[in-house]
Amino acid sequence: MMMKYKDEKYPSAKVVNGITMGGPRAHFRGMGLLSEELSKPFIGIINSHNEMHPGHIHLDKVAKAAKDGVRTGGGIPFEVNTISICDGFAQGHDGMCFVLPSRENIADSIELYARAHRLDGMLLIAGCDKIVPAMLMAMLRINIPAIMVTGGPMKPGRYKGENYASYELKEKVGELLKGHISQDEYLRMEEALSPGPGSCSMMGTANTMSVMSEALGLAMTDSAMAHAVDGKKLRVAKASGLRIVDLVNEGIRPRDIVTQEMLEDALRVAMSVGGSTNATLHVPAIAHEAQLKLKLEDIDEISRTTPYLCKIKPSGNHTPMDLDEAGGIPVVMKELDGIINLDRMTVTGKTFRENITGRENLNEQVIRPISKAYSSESSLAILKGNLAPLGAVVKQTAVSPSMLKHSGPAVCFQTEEQATEAIYNGVVQSGDVIVIKYEGPKGGPGMREMLTATTALIGMGLGDSVALVTDGRFSGATRGPCIGHVSPEAASNGTIAIVENGDVIEINIPKRTLNVRLSEDEIKSRLEKIVHPQPKVTEGYLARYRNHVTSAHEGAILKI
């Protein structure tokens, strides 16, 4: 007595076929499924909807549209939720220690569910910094048919006729403390600068990774810049639901799409629009899950040979909405034709070239043609030297020309909070180089981002005269001469651990160098005598993370 309900080509056949699977079938029937539905593909709607998170608060509606698409396409959707942490709420305290580590937790949780329940395919729905890369990592690790559905940017905040992103409030703190703006004006800006759902209105990590999703061919055309409140976002979600059923039946998997060349081209697209420094953590981690390789040196070479086409906040004054209205990522890719290969296959079943046929640049002030590029190099630069033997990263497109080369005395701190207090209290002076150590993946632990410190520099008028160097990381909102991901980190006996107040730090971004003016013998001598601080945590998830996380230059992935 076979009791075969489903073709054995579907992984979910293991759950519904055979006389011994009466229990699972009873569960399905108890949830309202008909016998006829048991034969259809089971699609996991992996949703990171969250009611304490502007980037994810609307994803219940996105998931509904996606589920409608799956049903219309002939599949059965099952919505499953995973966590999503907002970097904004974790700023400036030890909550930020948990944000980057959540990436691995999310990816692991999706793998556990998808493999345990034998899903046939997945739609993964997310909108913000660590959640989108986590889902891309999970897609490529599990390698069943899948489509990424990004939540979309929020509308820019409007105040006195100007467009703002929420990170700019942090930059206003210095103006408030110096009396340049009133408390009432600051509060009015609070009410205006985060106007609704979506990822922050800038080319931060969230939107950078959404661009990567589309440019990797793992999301539908126009998905990255379709705004959270736009009906286009719901249409993209519904179309994704329709398409995933076809992908399952065609047997097309993420690793069939994401080749080494596709990965590198996608990074070019993200950097051409001023992508975040955090891409240097997430893209190598994604490559690792795809069984590919991407080193910091590769990222630097790609950046050196990719023109800079879009100045989106924080690097310029344009917003993601401007980018969307100009034609979005399809037009950016069209402008890059010849530098990237548009004849690669995507989840749509068509090539990029086929997907963008007929698209035109609607605003060359926002998306510049290559002939009018802002520069021949794009957003990221990888620096090396005796202070960062394994590399460090800076968003060079957000650095003023006067600070591309800089030497100055180190002012050292062991936490972001110490540095921020010193900035606001006038301890840090023009020409200084702030050094924040023990904030790396192990030392943090969790590699906090230093947005509170970097925005303090801007607010206090030091953004063009003070550099910041850290083994921690930065928000995609960071601008100025801020160099992060210094590897090896202080907790791993990196040179940054032995830098002292007054040591001269030499930065040369065009030459890609980062050095401390000390002899090799002096560095060696100091390292031999160093006494590291005690670990900040000794129990729970962060203690496990600290023991297994790799260096930032490897993507801060977990060792198996």
pLDDT tens per residue across span 518-551:
999 999 999 999 999 998 899 999 999 999 999 9
Q: By C-alpha distance, which of 145, 137, 77, 152 is closest to 104?
A: 137
Q: Is the pLDDT of residue 245 over 80?
A: yes
> Are the C-beta atoms of 113 and 138 separated by less than 8 Å?
no
Per-residue pLDDT of 300-315, as tens digits, reads 999 999 999 999 998 8
The arithmetic mean of pLDDT across residues 368-387, rounded, is 97
The per-residue pLDDT for range 440-449, each reduced to its tens digit, is 999 999 999 9
Percentage of the chain lying above the pLDDT 90 cut: 91
Task: Report d(CA 482, CA 291) in Å as an integer.
Answer: 31
pLDDT at residue 476 in the model? 76
- Confidence at 358, pLDDT banded by 50, 70, 90: very high
Q: CA 190, CA 184: separation in Å to the nearest integer? A: 10
Q: If we measure between CA atoms, which residue out of 66, 94, 91 comes closest to residue 78?
A: 66
Residue 134 pLDDT more than 60? yes
15 three-class SS: helix
Going by the DSSP 8-state scheme, the letter that residue 219 receives in this structure is B
At 475, is the pLDDT very low, low, confident or very high (cuts 50, 70, 90)?
confident
Active-site hit among 48, 213, 475, 487: 475
Residue 1 pLDDT more than 70? no
> Does residue 475 have an active-site annotation?
yes
For 408, the 3-state DSSP assignment is: strand
Compute CA distances 250 → 144, 290, 348, 472, whole Å.
11, 20, 12, 43
Strand partners, 312: 318
Residue 42 DSSP label: E
Give the model confidence (pLDDT) of 491-503 as tens digits. Answer: 999 999 999 999 9
Paired residues of 383 in beta bridges:
392
Mean pLDDT of the chain, nearest integer: 95
Q: What is the CA radius of gyration of the chain?
A: 24
Mean pLDDT to the nearest integer, 33-49 = 97
Give the integer Cα–Cα distance in Å for 171 and 481.
15
Query: How confident is the model at residue 340, as a pLDDT?
Result: 98
pLDDT level of residue 326 (50, 70, 90 thresholds): very high
How far is 97 from 113, CA to CA, in rounded Å? 26
Distance CA 166, CA 501 (A): 34
Tokens 């489903």 identify what position? 6
Distance, in Å, from the CA atom of 466 to the CA atom of 482, rounded to the nearest integer, reads 9
Residue 92: per-residue pLDDT:
81
Tokens of 40: 């259809």
pLDDT tens across 68-96, in order?
999 999 999 999 999 999 998 998 889 99
Q: How far apart are CA 221 and CA 214, in angstroms?
A: 7
Using DSSP's 3-state secondary structure scheme, residue 340 falls into strand
245's tokens: 């059923």
Do residues 318 and 247 lie in contact, with contact meaning Cβ atoms separated by under 8 Å? no
Mean pLDDT value of segment 117-128: 97
Q: How far apart are the two ends of the chain, measured CA to CA in Å?
A: 43
- How confident is the model at residue 248, as a pLDDT? 98
Sheet strand arrangement including 42-47: 76-81, 42-47, 121-126, 146-150
Cis check for the bond before 153: say yes or no (omega within 30 of 0).
no
- pLDDT at 458 (0 to 100): 87
**What pLDDT digit, counting tens, does each position of 167-220 carry?**
888 888 888 988 999 999 999 999 999 999 999 999 999 999 999 999 999 999
